[in-house]
């Protein structure tokens, strides 16, 4: 019985070597700059989420680890109008899959906050 307990303890404490890793950023001036930050996603986060918001020619990128359901819901309601203003959300679930994004970003504090409010709103509706 001691061996079984030890094996169970070992399985519970060992982290998967193949854990999802995403690029993450909240306030960068370019996608290249954003891609300097890596994060191991902790359970239950199983998706890399990229939000690109554009308003009046100003673009901001937010990249984070997310729940698949949350990311999919955000992507379903995201939209961009004919002028190019709005939000695009992309979801992926393989190692460093969220590499792509806008080539450059002109930061505006309000645009950085809007995607976070969207995420919080979606998360509170699904809990």
Q: What is the pLDDT along the chain (127 residues), one digit of tens a residue?
A: 454 344 334 344 444 445 899 999 986 657 888 899 999 999 999 999 999 888 888 888 999 999 999 999 999 999 999 988 998 999 999 999 999 854 333 344 455 556 666 677 666 776 6
Edge-to-edge strands, sheet with 86-92: 58-66, 47-55, 86-92
- Is there a domain that residue 42 lies in? yes
Yes or no: say if 19 and 94 are a contact pair by the CB < 8 Å rule. Answer: no
Predicted pLDDT of residue 72: 95
Instruction: Return the ∠ at Cα 33 (arms to 29 and 34), rounded to 5°.
Output: 90
Query: Radius of gyration of the chain from Cα atoms?
Result: 17
Q: How many distinct structural domains can be found in the chain?
A: 1
- Is there a domain that residue 105 lies in? yes
Domain with 114 in it: 19-125
- Is the pTM value of this prediction over 0.75? no
- Is there a domain that residue 4 lies in? no
- Is there a domain that residue 6 lies in? no
- Is there a domain that residue 67 lies in? yes
Predicted pLDDT of residue 64: 95
Question: For residue 73, what is the domain's CATH number?
Answer: 2.10.60.10
Give CA–CA dist 115/42, Å, rounded. 21
- Is there a domain that residue 1 lies in? no
């Amino acid at each position: 019985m001691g061996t079984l307990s030890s094996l169970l303890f070992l399985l519970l404490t060992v982290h998967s070597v193949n854990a999802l890793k995403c690029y993450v950023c909240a306030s960068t001036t370019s996608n290249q700059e954003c891609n300097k930050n890596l994060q191991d996603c902790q359970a239950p986060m199983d998706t890399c989420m990229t939000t690109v918001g554009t308003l009046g020619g100003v673009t901001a990128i937010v990249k984070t680890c997310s729940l698949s359901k949350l990311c999919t819901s955000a992507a379903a309601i995201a939209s961009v109008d004919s002028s190019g203003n709005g939000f695009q959300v992309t979801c992926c679930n393989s190692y460093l899959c969220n590499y792509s994004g806008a080539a450059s970003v002109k930061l505006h504090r309000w645009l950085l906050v809007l995607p976070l409010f969207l995420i919080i709103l979606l998360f509170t509706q699904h809990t």
